[in-house]
Amino acid sequence: MTTPSIAPAGAATLALFDLDHTLLAGDSDYLWGEFLADSGLVDRTRHAAANERFYADYVAGTLDIQAYGRFVLEPLTPLDPARLDALRREFIATRIRPIVAPGAPALLTKHRDAGHTLVITTSTNRFITEPIVALLGVGTLIATEPEIVDGRLTGRLAGIPNFQAGKITRLEHWLAVQPQRFSTICAYSDSHNDLPLLERADLPTAVDPDDRLRAIATQRHWPIISLRD
């Protein structure tokens, strides 16, 4: 393992962090599916089988993000906002707090203390990830957006999913409306699905990477770190 290349303090630096398997030592989307099954909101056998298939597609880089979005969100559509909020609070307390990567808070603090702008960018939808980002103390989230009509989830996604090349499209949209122009971009991710994001960065770092990303990072001499040690 090496150390990440962090831009100096005072620089106009944007620090981008993937969430699942990067700042978290697990996958919040996948765990949400298990949580729904444990809560009796979905059929455990059918849901678990589909969850496994979608996760395998994600690992392979072939995930249909629209289909997966419907799979995650449709079971929530009959529930009123108060019930959803209670479920989400329980999920964060029981499934997410225990899997925050041990080194994640220190890395975030290091960038924060250097005066950098911190953004978490994740393919997981905002309903699941917004309280996770708050837990980590990061003020800005770019996530896949669930469609909401009259205050309720419709079971569909809205806009461009924040996944693979979509992360770049969404990032550029975000950058275009910022009052500050960043001279340096740092990016952290575990997944080959985030190769476009890492290539967009001036200082990319592979974090506990999958095999494909590890090979690419090694070939390109990118830092490789672990936040789980």
Nearest-angstrom CA–CA distance, 82 and 190: 34
Q: pLDDT at position 1, please? A: 57
Token pair in block for residue 165: 């090349």
Contact present, 112 and 10 (Cβ < 8 Å):
no
CATH of domain 13-225: 3.40.50.1000
pLDDT band per the 50, 70, 90 thresholds, residue 72:
confident
Q: pLDDT at position 3, please? A: 64
Closest residue by Cα to residue 72 from 36, 100, 118: 36
Residue indicated by tokens 């095999």: 211
Residue indicated by tokens 């950098």: 116
State the chain's mean pLDDT as an integer. 93
Q: Is the pLDDT of residue 11 over 80?
A: no
**91 membership: H or E segment, kind and range:** helix 81-91
Angle CA 200–201–207, to nearest 5: 115
Per-domain residue ranges of the chain = 13-225
pLDDT band per the 50, 70, 90 thresholds, residue 48:
confident
How many other C-beta atoms lie within 10 A of the C-beta of residue 74?
A: 14
**117-173, pLDDT tens digit by residue?**
999 999 999 999 999 999 999 999 999 999 999 889 999 999 999 999 999 999 999
Q: pLDDT at position 59, please? A: 82
Give me the active site residues, please.
18, 20
Nearest-angstrom CA–CA distance, 1 and 206: 10
